[in-house]
Structure 1
Amino acid sequence: MRPDTHLYRELFLNDVPLMDARAPIEFSKGAFPGALNLPLMNDEERHQVGICYKQHGQDAAIALGNKLVSGQLKEARLQAWAQFTQDHPDGYLYCFRGGLRSLITQTWLREEAGIHYPRVVGGYKAMRGYLLNNLEQAIGSAHFQVLGGMTGTGKTDVLQQLNHSLDLEGYAHHRGSSFGKHATGQPSQIDFEHRLSIALLKKSAQGHQRFVLEDESQTIGRCSLPLSLYRGMQQWSLIWLEDSLENRITRIVRDYVQNLHAEFTVQYEPQAGFALFAEQLRQSLGRISKRLGHQRYQQLAVIMDDALLEQERSGVLDGHRAWIRGLLTEYYDPMYIYQREQKAERVIFQGDADAVLNYLRKQG
């Protein structure tokens, strides 16, 4: 029989399967990668029990919970828990604080299904606290370098070829610009923090003490960087990635047009997928219309519409190059040139992708 555990580090390093007994509303606000929500109580049941606890105390709340989760409902939940234990014999269960809900789940499994399944001591709250502490400690003690460059130079491509990189945009599921949304939504702020902390934990366990990450704003879509990390990024040394304008346009067509369209096609049937993809592109351009100025925005919007019509009719993507070129040369590039000048004293290396990769591999 496996004992209950408080070895949070091992749980995250080994991707141990986790059964989350919290209510769905709690799970949706934040969870751990790979955890499965199999609640003891649903949202309404939890709400009723919570009111009862405040008004009449713990014993009355437990009695109400047993009444609400009984009969066929209780049997269905027991079957789901039992299936999880069979599928994941090395896993653990937890609730918010490692208290009553996980204890009741554990007890019902043992007494009514004959299954001895361990739980996480301290539950979600303790595990999250561990990850946040680990994140702050790593930011304070590890060595970081920042990868910068103009839009479309392929910073993410470089990061994905390095063992000691942190892909902030990957954890946030967003490309970090007005055009950065994917076909599917972003994680919650809490889930983003968990992904980042676990990545740091695993890479540190592999022996890495130096990390490289992309130069980002304080927010990536709706996900905010930890303040200590963002402040550090304003001070750490900077590696500047360079590429030609034509290569950058080609890469942007690949990522923001071809691949984005493919994402929507996977999520929806082709016609609806294309319509949603096209609308997202138009909305992305619209979000920076004031900064572009009305006349330039209108010109780029017309070019984009023509390119989308041609893409829908023939599948040809070349028409997108014109609005992307205009957006780079007249909006993004001047902004990045200014930022590069402000950070000039922090730049310790610059070059194309091969040169930057060689440099960063030696640093790592």
Structure 2
Amino acid sequence: MPRPNCDDFRSLFVNDTPLMDMRAPVEFEQGAFPTSVSRPLMTNDERAAVGTCYKNKGQQEAIKLGHQLVNGDVKAARVAQWKAFFEANPNGYLYCFRGGLRSQITQQWLKEAGIDFPYINGGYKALRRFLIETIEDVAKQPSMVVAGNTGSGKTIMVNELTCGIDLEGAAHHRGSSFGRFVTPQRTQIAFENDLAVQMLKKQDRGVTQFIYEDEGKSIGRVMVPLSLQAAMKEAPIAVIDDPMDVRLARLLDDYVITMQRDYVAQYGEEQGWQLFAEYLEKGMFNIRKRLGLERYQEILDAQQHAVKVMQSTGSVAEHEAWLAPLLEQYYDPMYTYQLSKKADRIVFRGDYQTVKAWFEAQ
């Protein structure tokens, strides 16, 4: 694939252009872009030392210290990493925080190794600003919201619809007490970056009206951008009314079958089962006060029994004994109350396929 122009940020993200992040690991961990890979010029300690030197002695001394810290075999090893990235991604770019010294030094060292690898003008800061502005712009576009009780398949629907935006996918969290995945949730910055790239790709396909899943202010530990929160509070709502057995089957797949499989795949049989059981127990613990301690203990006992049966026999049928009361006594009443406050914005109701067909006809 040809390399997009380095100033055409939209094309960079729409085309999933590989990006090599020269910032220190701590900067990368705070948030990066979906196609970026950390190949830092300096470690966290090296960056801290150079930063201190810059404050105390100025830029020239800081640059001098940087060259002393990254020299010889250390320098050779890092250049080799950068070369390998370029050879695997010849259409890529490198960037540092502002497109300044770190980008220029990296580019120069690569040139000395016979590679001309361009960097992003303005660096991470310019790319990040562009993505924030994208979210603000899209929030002004016409939108609709898909709602429905827990297990209605709202996330599945936004992924099936051409104009759907998957907020939970961007957050890497399903938005409930049992919503986390085996791998850690994204940071706020990474969530917003991923969300904006989703939006850019939809716009590139001609989408001008967007559909979001009904969410609160937060999804796990990340906050939905304020501009998007405001837009969703005004948007028309279509509600999925699926029967209990259909919703139970979805929750069983999401919370039990998929999570057990993923934990075992990530951690091995013994530890995977242990962490899976802890995940379910933690989900219950998080809502114990809202359930009331007596009801909490009853549902928890049923859950723990179901895990033991599943581990010994492979049967998942026992999980319905705690999932059904969790829906009937906790999630459904809570969501029904929340939806009643939005009743004036509800424009359509039906089962999953009916609501999906209605959205597609809009």
Unaligned runs of 5+ in 2: none
**How has the CA–CA distance of structure 1 residues 158 and 64 changed in structure 2, closer, same or farther, with 3 Å as cutoff?**
same
CA distance in 2, matches of 1:159, 1:138: 16
Letter in 1 for 2:125: K
Please state whether the residue corresponding to 2:120 is helix, strand or coil.
Answer: coil
TM-score, normalization by structure 2: 0.97
Match of 2:176 in 1: 177
What does residue 324 of structure 1 align with?
A: 323
Question: Partner of 1:250 in structure 2?
Answer: 249
Query: Is the aligned partner of 1:74 residue 2:75?
Result: yes
Give distance in 1, aligned partners of 2:293 and 2:77.
59
Q: Which residue of 2 aligns with 1:27?
A: 28
Q: Secondary structure at the match of 2:234?
A: coil
Q: In structure 2, what is the Cα distance between the partners aligned to 1:236 and 1:180?
A: 25
The answer on whether the counterparts of 1:49 and 1:61 sit within 8 Å (CA) in structure 2 is yes
Distance change >3 Å, CA 343–CA 82, structure 1 → 2: same
Query: In the alignment, what sits opposite 1:260?
Result: 259
Counterpart of 1:201, as a letter, is L
User: What is the rounded CA distance, in whole Å, between the counterparts of 1:36 and 1:164 in structure 2?
Assistant: 29
1:319 is paired with a residue whose SS is helix
Alignment pair present for 1:55 and 2:76: no
Normalising by structure 1, we get a TM-score of 0.97
Give aligned pairs, total. Answer: 360
Q: Quick one: distance in 2 between partners of 1:246 and 1:289?
A: 24
Partner of 2:123: 123
Structure 1 segments (4+ residues) deviating >6 Å: none
CA distance in 2, matches of 1:328, 1:101: 53
Q: Aligned partners of 1:82 and 1:337: how far apart in 2?
A: 56
Following TM superposition, by how much is the alpha carbon of 1:189 offset from its aligned partner in structure 2, in angstroms?
Answer: 0.5
Question: What letter corresponds to residue 154 of structure 1 in structure 2?
Answer: G
1:13 equivalent in alignment to 2:14: yes
User: For 1:145, what is the secondary structure of its paired residue?
Assistant: strand
- How far apart are 1:340 and its partner, in Å? 2.2
Q: How does 1:158-169 map to 2 (within 5 A)?
A: 158-169=157-168
- CA deviations over 1:1-25 (Å, ceiling 9, x no partner): x898222111111111111111111
Contact 1:3 1:118 in 2 (8 A): no
Q: Whole-Å Cα distance in 1 between the matches of residues 127 and 249 of structure 2?
A: 43
* Deviation of the 1:83 alpha carbon: 1.2
Paired-residue identity, %? 46
Contact 2:309 2:315 in 1 (8 A): yes
The 5 A counterparts of 1:1-364 are 5-111=6-112, 113-140=113-140, 142-363=141-362
The answer (yes or no) to whether the contact 1:4–1:120 under 8 Å persists in 2 is no
AA at the equivalent of 1:202: K
CA deviations over 1:93-143 (Å, ceiling 9, x no partner): 1100000000000011112x0111111000000000011011101112x11
* CA distance in 2 between partners of 1:193 and 1:24 (Å): 19
Distance 1:337 1:50 in 2: 54
SS where residue 238 of structure 2 aligns?
Answer: strand
Asked if the contact 1:165/1:212 (under 8 Å) is kept, the reply is yes
Deviation readout 1:49-91 (Å, 9 max, x if unpaired): 1111111111111111011100000000111111111111111
Distance 1:3 1:178, change over 3 A: closer
CA distance in 1, matches of 2:81, 2:20: 10
Amino acid at match of 1:136: E
Q: CA RMSD in A?
A: 1.2
Aligned residues of 2:4 and 2:12 also touching (Cα < 8 A): no
In structure 1, the gaps of 5 or more residues are none
Aligned partners of 1:6 and 1:122 also within 8 Å: no
